[in-house]
Structure 1
């Protein structure tokens, strides 16, 4: 009875393991930056802005946003000056999803209290493929412009 050579078995095992598990460099790798809410003028509604960056090789999709500060958070895109509610936004692989004044934005509706400059609003972003992200969104002045910092 012949026994297989140990080096051949070890090499076959190593090759099999290399093909599975490990780090998946193609997965979505999401992070959030530049989040803010201008202090709302209305007591029951506010807008929110942020940037989601995907450094991974797989596209994902933002499917919902929730916050304890509001009864409902809806997502909107703006096309040719017209605001439209949407149920999801794509987050491209190696790309960004930007929410900014005059463009894509979040609407915090049925506010439980009116946020004031200096407050922080917690929100949870839910994605189709990736785990949820929790974001601390600072409330800025009503006229805050991120390009000037005022």
Structure 2
């Protein structure tokens, strides 16, 4: 009977040792990809920033367009999934290709890249305006992402004919960065 007990103890000890080894290996793999002190975890997260936002003063009473550039300096791609504003009943995402505007459910924001919303291309539509924004005002716009926290931007209302870069602003340099985007 003592032989049977010894065999059982060896089996339990071997199983416990295998479990401990598995947990140790799992712990090693997880520490670099979590929110620990290693740089690896931070590099695999999106780092979203928004710049160059503006709304041309709308000519219609019930809708307006908005433009901006989303930059992702992080090591993981993300998606812009929606937008909200207290000035509008709804804010929708749109692409324009070949002069045809189409509503989109989301837009990819590549890791280490940017997503540009510009006149004649991607844009947001402020629909069912509660009031028509006037030139010189700022409108709050909150962008919602799949992974990153929401970003709220104070968007200035510009003259209806405004085009970035005409005033010597930094937005003109974004034109070359977006040539690889096919959205």
Using the size of structure 1 for normalisation, the TM-score is 0.86
Deviation per residue, 1:58-114 (Å, 9 max, x gap) = 000000000000001001001111100001000000000000000000100000101
CA distance in 2, matches of 1:18, 1:87: 34
CA–CA distance in 2 between the matches of 1:32 and 1:103? 17
Which of 127, 136, 139 lines up with 1:118 in the alignment? 136
Return the offset for 1:18. 6.3
Give the counterpart of 1:48 among 57, 66, 69.
Answer: 66
1:37 to 39, 52, 55: 55
Q: Deviation per CA, 1:35-63: give whole Å up to 9, x if none.
A: 00000000111000000000011000000
Using the TM superposition, give the Cα deviation of residue 147 of structure 1 relative to its aligned residue in structure 2, in angstroms.
2.1
RMSD (Å), alpha carbons: 1.9
Distance 2:140 2:131 in 1: 13
Q: 1:5-47 CA deviation, whole Å, 9 max, x = no partner?
A: xxxxxxxxxxx69635225122100000000000000011100
Structure with bigger gyration radius: 2
Aligned with 2:113 (options 95, 102, 106) = 95
Secondary structure, counterpart of 1:135 in structure 2 = strand
- Of the candidates 118, 124, 130, which is equivalent to residue 106 of structure 1? 124
Give the equivalent residue in structure 1 for 2:160. 142
**How many residue pairs are counted as aligned between the two chains?**
137
Q: Normalising to structure 2: TM-score of the pair?
A: 0.71
Bigger helix share? 2
Alpha-carbon distance in structure 2 between the residues aligned to 1:54 and 1:141: 29
State the distance in 2 between where 1:149 and 1:117 align: 16
In structure 1, stretches of 5+ residues that fail to align are 1-15
**What's 1:10 paired with?**
none
Moved over 3 A (4+): 16-20
Structure with more strand by fraction? 1
Larger RCO of the pair (alpha carbons < 8 Å, separation 6+): 1
